[in-house]
Structure 1
Amino acid sequence: MSETAHTMDPTFYRSPSEAIAAPTELLAYVVAFDRAAQKPDALTVVDTDPSSETYGQIVGWADLPTVGDELHHFGWNACSSALKHEGHDMGPDGLQRRYLLLPGLRSSNIHVYDTHPDPRSPVLHKTIEAKELAEKAGYSRPHTLHCGPDGVFLTCLGSGDGDEGPGGIALLDHATFDVLRAWETDRGPQYLHYDAWWHLNQNTLISSEWGTPSMVENGLVPELLLGGKYGHQLHFWDLAEGRHLQTVDLGAEQQMVLELRPSHDPEATWGFVGVVVSTADLSASIWRWHRDGGEWTADKVITIPAEPADPADLPPALAPFGAVPPLVTDIDLSVDDQMLYVSCWGTGELKQYDVSDPAHPREVGSVHLGGVVRKTAHPAAPGEPLAGGPQMVEVSRDGRRIYVTNSLYGAWDDQFFPSGVGSWMAKIDTDPAAGGLSLDARFFPRGEDWRGLRPHQVRLQGGDASSDSYCYR
């Protein structure tokens, strides 16, 4: 074995099976934001070690140096995809899964936190200001990032000019965090942006669509929704060249094509994407993209219907429809590609599907928490009706634990839960082979545990199901 293999970061896994067999996470990193923008957002640390006296409690807290960022998605500077290309310094002082990059969706600032030497006490390492992102890449409103083989891929909703598009991908240096450039060399017809991920061994990047900043940051705009103006397309790109290759349109009624979850098998050519709502019937759906000969295509494989409700129980945005849409706002695929998790934020449900045959998913588990109408309580606090619902979902590498948080995005929270969305995080246990979901009654940080902030995305120590892409089987 080479010296590099001895000294490289042990959380860079060559294959999905190696990641699954690695030690389980003892900590979860969670970003939380202040809706009022009066105090700093925070990077928090939650104890996930069941044998610990502080299990299920927030054990670390780092305030941002600014206010008004609205932390949303975030991620690692480096991960297993670094093994795809030579040229990285993999020694003890070289490339490591060490820094967390926290984009501010409203401010366009990006704060970089160092999780070493004490993973419970991350410290601010650097701030990348909105001006640098706009001047060097031509983008604003950074939303999602993935550690890639050539750098950090940062998806952005808006252009450098502000409220409109085109959105796209900024490429950042793994180590210095300098903004290098816009990743695209030829964007073709792509204008709206949301998520981006890839099939490394097929040299293919996939991107999805939500809306420009003006379309999303003040809440859902009914006229845009009913007019089919939010994103409804997938885009396929040459990963090495940044060149647009193909558009797959799911149909204008399929509004807001969001989270991309490609297979973790590096030789596979399929993945899943969630669609928030259909204007035809308020249902939500999951689509499978796959390669068909030399072209890419997508098929609807899951439909989740809206649930009838008394208009008196609904917020003004939904009362005219007399129903609660599921509002699929996040999905996650287990590292072994066997289970797909679907967050139905509107109805307050997390669904589990066996996708061992990805063309024919089969529901095998479900839990309810919160919901616009149900307001289902957690077993740790059976007398407390919950607002919000399972929103961001993260799965442990071994597929046995699922973590969810309840806030979507400030303005959207207020629109669908006008009486308050609350603040909570929950953990769900499962059998990764047979399925079935059960809430952990010991794990429920909520309310004032979050000091008035709303928790959003979760990242697990050492990586998780939506952090890494793998190079080898």
Structure 2
Amino acid sequence: GAPWAGAAAPGAQLPCCGLRGFILLDGETFEVKGNWEKGSNVPALGYDFWYQPRHNVLMSTELGIPKVLANGLDPADLKTGSYGRHINVWDWTTHVFTQSIDLGEDSIPLEIRFLHNPDAAEGYVGCALSSAIHRFYKTGNGNWAAEKVVQVPSKKVNGWLFPEMPGLITDILISLDDKFLYFSNWFHGDIRQYDISNTRKPRLVGQVFLGGKIPRDGPIVVVEDQELNCQPEPFVIKGKRVQGGPQMIQLSLDGKRLYVSTSLYSGWDKQFYPDLVKEGSVMLQIDVDTVKGGLKVNKNFLVDFGSEPHGPVLAHEIRYPGGDCSSDIWI
């Protein structure tokens, strides 16, 4: 599951998403208090969550059955209902599951984010396998709905697990001023920045490639691409070729520095990026144009986890002490 989000007042109790529901933790001691959800009618799967007390709602997403996904992605499992496809809606006050929003077969919704404005009844969820961003929102009758607002086209390829390669959106975040949406494509190897001044029509304003499965000197040949004219160059920084692809991301509070790590999950790392497992992951910094939009790699910043004691290490989450763009929730 995902780590708990948001700062808590002394004595508060915090939900932590699990397979079917939520573990309730004491906000000071982190002692397990029991289950957060009430009733027996709960979704079969869980992963990330975000809540908005002003609208009395918590939203959760679905990854998949742990024993199925633990050792990698098997195409046969996609037709057995082993992976998730829903946003699940919960009543924040009563802890009762109230609604399910279907995002489509094999979508695998992962990270979910409300806008930071506590009055805003909308946000975004990134779907890994379908490589789509959906905007969720509160309707006039008080229910919740979703609409697809970004679609990353799959690339037709030779020499890979599937004949088409999705971007595999593994992380998303929204800047604290609610101006930009960022997300990573772990397979394609790029990070994207969208202007969301119009939340229903995100506009691509920045993009950088940081590895991925399709560099031009690799074994995979892209035979049809709706976005690129040629396969990207291998990504090298400070003389090191970066293995893996951009994965977890975190933005500085002023919105000017975007940090990225390259490991997803060890079972999937081993399957798709075996050299990443051998060499360890890295953390990179992307400089952000917060006025017009735009992304540029900081070539002077590299944290190489391959040389860690008892390594190499596969670093994953990135967090600021005291709160950041993917933990702070205002009530």
CA contact (8 A) 2:261 2:317 kept: yes
Partner of 1:304: 152
- Counterpart CA distance in 2 for 1:186 and 1:233 is 19
Residues 1:425 and 2:283 aligned together: yes
Partner of 1:262: 114
Structure 1 length as normaliser, TM-score? 0.62
Residues 1:404 and 2:224 aligned together: no
SS at match of 1:448: helix
Partner of 2:104: 251
| Larger Rg belongs to | 1
Residues 1:376 and 2:234 aligned together: yes
- Counterpart CA distance in 1 for 2:201 and 2:305 is 39
Which residue, out of 245, 262, 284, partners 1:389? 245
The verdict on how the C-alpha distance between 1:398 and 1:352 changes in structure 2, with shifts beyond 3 A counting, is: same
Partner of 2:169: 328
SS at match of 1:454: coil
Partner of 1:182: 35
CA contact (8 A) 2:305 2:315 kept: no
SS at match of 1:214: helix
SS at match of 2:318: strand
SS at match of 1:459: coil
> Which one-letter code corresponds to 1:303 in the other structure?
Q
Which residue, out of 279, 286, 301, partners 2:133? 286
Q: Deviations for 1:327-356, whole angstroms, at most 9, x for unmatched residues?
A: 111111111111111100001100110111
Q: Percent identity?
A: 38
Q: How does 1:11-22 map to 2 (within 5 A)?
A: none
Could you tell me how far 1:447 is from its partner in structure 2? 4.9
CA contact (8 A) 1:73 1:456 kept: no
Q: How does 1:74-113 map to 2 (within 5 A)?
A: 74=3, 79=7, 82=9, 88=10
The verdict on how the C-alpha distance between 1:324 and 1:386 changes in structure 2, with shifts beyond 3 A counting, is: farther
- Counterpart CA distance in 2 for 1:454 and 1:73 is 17
The verdict on how the C-alpha distance between 1:195 and 1:223 changes in structure 2, with shifts beyond 3 A counting, is: same
CA contact (8 A) 1:200 1:469 kept: no
> Which one-letter code corresponds to 1:287 in the other structure?
H
> Which one-letter code corresponds to 1:269 in the other structure?
A
CA contact (8 A) 2:237 2:302 kept: no
Q: Which runs of 5+ in 1 are unaligned?
A: 1-71, 83-87, 89-94, 96-149, 158-166, 279-283
Q: Deviations for 1:142-179, whole angstroms, at most 9, x for unmatched residues?
A: xxxxxxxx42221113xxxxxxxxx2111100112211
Q: Deviations for 1:34-81, whole angstroms, at most 9, x for unmatched residues?
A: xxxxxxxxxxxxxxxxxxxxxxxxxxxxxxxxxxxxxx95467x62x5
- Counterpart CA distance in 1 for 2:56 and 2:285 is 35
Q: Which runs of 5+ in 2 are unaligned?
A: 216-232
Partner of 2:223: none
Could you tell me how far 1:213 is from its partner in structure 2? 1.6
Moved more, 401-410 or 222-231: 222-231
Partner of 1:459: 319
Partner of 2:47: 194
Q: CA RMSD in A?
A: 1.9
The verdict on how the C-alpha distance between 1:213 and 1:405 changes in structure 2, with shifts beyond 3 A counting, is: same
How many pairs align? 309
